[in-house]
Amino acid sequence: MSIEDFVRNFEGAIEGIEPNSLTAETEFTKLEQWDSLAALTVLAMIDTEYSLQVTGNELKSCHTIEALFKILSAKKSA
């Protein structure tokens, strides 16, 4: 799994986000489109693409896409 792919998947998971508009450093919780529904569609993407689950607390602890990716990477290698 690569951070580049994850950023593209993240963009695809949230309605109203332009392709290639986000980066690993994007603070996703500050996006206009970020809400509880967007959180669910991102979790759905993570489950579908990576077969991983992220808890609510883990998601809340992340501000950037990269931070979320790091949590996934740690889970994948665990």
Give the footprint of another protein on this chain (CB under 8 A).
15-16, 35-37, 39-41, 43-44, 47-48, 53-56, 59
Least CB distance to another protein at residue 37 (A): 5
Name the residue nearer to another protein (CB basis): 2 or 15: 15
Instruction: Name all contacts of 1-10 with Cβ < 8 Å and 24+ positions apart.
Output: 1/50, 1/72, 1/73, 1/76, 3/65, 3/66, 3/69, 6/65, 6/68, 6/69, 6/72, 7/65, 9/45, 9/49, 10/42, 10/45, 10/65, 10/68
Least CB distance to another protein at residue 44 (A): 6
Name the residue nearer to another protein (CB basis): 23 or 33: 33
